[in-house]
């Protein structure tokens, strides 16, 4: 990509992050507690509850009222009951650009039939293969050149690149084009660009993969795109009849969705995880000494501050939620950030503590729509953290850099991760 393209991508990302609260809301949790104490369900979108101009609401839902669940119990109910709370909430935002009937935007039974195409590709066993074949080498390729420098911003120089690189390799796409994938992801999902630009980005993905699909139809490949090309999906609930391969349009939809997933959350989750450990040095030291603590550090970080703090659904009929009447057809948000800080489930929820009693958080969703890539995300975060600790002794914030902090509302992220470490000659 040209320098101008990189600048344009950065500007688009900054604008989208600001729309999602970056630089405007740094600590949302006191407000969540205040609102939850009044009622477990609030009238308004998350942005509206914080006094932010909610551009996406007006674009996608017009005058329809949005409701936000703030308790763990009511958020869990929204995510569990797919018949009452439909994933069609995604249709206005993703339908025109990513594609209609996307995996995250449909309900059972259609959802299960499509999800089954990729379920095995993201199994624990398959993730072990990915870890050794390309995830570990990709991570090393970004970290090793930094070792002798003694300082870096691990958010922009490392975390921002690894997940989309992994996604590109897993799909069988040339990783050298990963800046293109990030650009397309941002433009497909950002209301800050015009509808024509969003549509153009979606078309660009379809045109990009077209020759790769031809190759995989001619000969089998073991990458995700190859799996999708060879897969067949039943046209109804009886999986024994009417099985057909995916069309070119359907393959483009899957590819767009996987690119968006790869460019959006894991890098922010790593940023939050490393920030949490660096600001709690006793727990960082414990993880350094005992790497068996890495998985529970990851889970506590995902509970403590998650990269995506709300998941949307659409009420299929009038219902009561937390004592509030939700009209049919209204958007409803499971506010994951508030749910993961519900003191009814986690005592002292603002305290980051990798040793607290383990309880399942909602950062990966719940139920049938629980994140398909959960095994991949956990594996990436584990390898990224372990590789960071292995290479950078006495890792700490750079005392000469501006002190970073977490920011954002819908999207949560660190402002930066400027760090220094001890070199071999120190």
The per-residue pLDDT for 15 is 73
**Residue 208: partners with Cβ closer than 8 Å, 6 or more residues away:** 173, 177, 180
Could you read off the pLDDT of 196-213 as tens digits, one per residue? 999 999 999 999 999 999
Q: Are 1 and 183 in contact (CB under 8 A)?
A: yes
d(CA 64, CA 57) in angstroms, rounded, equals: 9
Higher pLDDT, 136 or 7: 136
Could you read off the pLDDT of 221-244 as tens digits, one per residue? 989 999 999 888 766 555 555 578
Q: Are 370 and 103 in contact (CB under 8 A)?
A: no
The distance of Cα 400 from the centroid of its chain, to the nearest Å, equals 31
Q: Looking at the domain 3-418, which fold is it? A: Cytochrome p450 (1.10.630)
Q: Which two tokens stand for residue 292?
A: 């068996």
DSSP code string of 87-119: GGGGHHHHTTTT-SS-GGG--TTHHHHHHHHHH
Rounded to two decimals, what is the model's pTM? Answer: 0.93
d(CA 111, CA 374) in angstroms, rounded, equals: 17
The β-bridge partners of 407 are 413
**Of 11-20, 110-119, 285-294, which range is least confident?**
11-20
Q: Are 135 and 166 in contact (CB under 8 A)?
A: yes
Give me the percent of the chain exceeding a pLDDT of 70.
92
Give me the percent of the chain exceeding a pLDDT of 90.
65
d(CA 165, CA 147) in angstroms, rounded, equals: 20
Given its phi and psi angles, is residue 116 left (phi above 0), alpha (psi -120 to 50 degrees) or beta? alpha
Q: Are 274 and 157 in contact (CB under 8 A)?
A: no
pLDDT tops 90 at residue 408: yes
pLDDT bucket at 191, cuts 50 / 70 / 90: confident
Cα angle 341, 87, 58 (rounded to 5 degrees) comes to: 80
Q: Over range 156-176, report the average pLDDT.
A: 92
Give percent helix, percent strand, percent coil of the chain, each to the nearest 5. 55, 10, 35
**DSSP 8-state secondary structure symbol assigned to residue 317:** S
The per-residue pLDDT for 335 is 97
Average pLDDT, the chain: 89
Could you read off the pLDDT of 47-73 as tens digits, one per residue? 999 998 655 666 677 789 999 999 999
Could you read off the pLDDT of 355-403 as tens digits, one per residue? 999 899 999 999 888 888 899 999 999 999 999 999 999 999 999 999 9
Cβ neighbour number for residue 391 with a 10 Å cutoff: 15
Backbone angles phi, psi at 321, to 5 degrees: -135, 115
Q: Over range 148-171, report the average pLDDT.
A: 94
Q: Which two tokens stand for residue 192?
A: 């800050």
Q: Which among 138, 154, 148, 401 has a CA at the least distance from the CA of 277?
A: 154
Cβ neighbour number for residue 191 with a 10 Å cutoff: 16
**DSSP 8-state secondary structure symbol assigned to residue 246:** P
Structural Rg of the chain based on CA atoms: 21
What is the per-residue burial (b if ≥16 Cβ within 10 Å, else e) of 321-334? Answer: bbebebeeebbbbb
Greatest alpha-carbon span in the chain = 68
Q: Which two tokens stand for residue 226?
A: 């190859």
pLDDT tops 70 at residue 11: no
Domain ranges of the chain: 3-418
């Amino acid at each position: 990509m040209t320098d101008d393209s990189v600048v344009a991508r950065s500007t688009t990302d900054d604008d989208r992050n600001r729309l999602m609260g970056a630089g405007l809301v740094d600590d949302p949790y006191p407000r969540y507690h205040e609102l939850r104490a009044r009622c477990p369900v609030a009238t308004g979108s998350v942005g509206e509850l914080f006094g932010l101009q909610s551009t996406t609401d007006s674009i996608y839902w017009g005058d329809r009222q949005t409701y936000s669940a703030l308790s763990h119990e009511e958020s869990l109910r929204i995510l569990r009951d797919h018949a009452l709370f439909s994933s069609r909430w995604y249709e206005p935002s993703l339908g025109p650009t990513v594609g209609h009937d996307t995996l995250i935007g449909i309900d059972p039974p259609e959802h299960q039939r499509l999800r089954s195409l990729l379920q095995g590709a993201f199994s624990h066993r398959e993730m072990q293969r990915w870890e050794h074949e390309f995830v570990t080498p990709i991570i090393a390729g970004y970290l090793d050149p930094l070792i002798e420098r003694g300082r870096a911003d691990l958010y922009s120089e490392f975390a921002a690149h690894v997940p989309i690189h992994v996604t590109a390799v897993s799909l069988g796409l040339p990783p050298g084009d990963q800046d293109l994938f990030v650009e397309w992801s941002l433009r497909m999902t950002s209301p800050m660009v015009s509808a024509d630009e969003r549509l153009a980005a979606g078309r660009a993905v379809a045109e990009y993969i077209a020759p790769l699909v031809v190759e995989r139809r001619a000969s089998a490949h073991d990458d995700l795109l190859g799996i999708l090309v060879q897969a067949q999906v039943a046209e109804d609930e009886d999986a024994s009849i009417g099985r057909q391969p995916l069309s070119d349009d359907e393959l483009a939809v899957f590819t767009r969705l996987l690119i968006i997933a790869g460019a959006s959350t894991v890098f922010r989750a790593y940023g939050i995880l490393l920030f949490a450990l660096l600001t709690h040095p006793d727990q960082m030291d414990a993880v350094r000494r005992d790497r068996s603590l890495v998985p529970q550090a990851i889970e506590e970080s995902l509970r403590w501050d998650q990269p995506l703090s709300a998941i949307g659904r659409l009420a299929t009929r009038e219902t009561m939620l937390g004592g509030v009447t939700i009209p049919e057809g209204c958007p409803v948000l499971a506010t994951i950030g508030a749910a993961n800080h519900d003191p009814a489930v986690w005592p002292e929820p603002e305290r980051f503590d990798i040793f607290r009693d383990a309880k399942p958080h909602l950062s990966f969703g719940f139920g049938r729509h629980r994140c398909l890539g959960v095994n991949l995300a956990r594996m990436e975060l584990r390898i990224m953290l372990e590789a960071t600790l292995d290479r950078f002794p006495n890792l700490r914030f750079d005392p000469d850099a501006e002190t970073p902090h977490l920011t954002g509302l819908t999207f949560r992220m660190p402002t930066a991760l400027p760090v220094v470490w001890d070199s071999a000659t120190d």
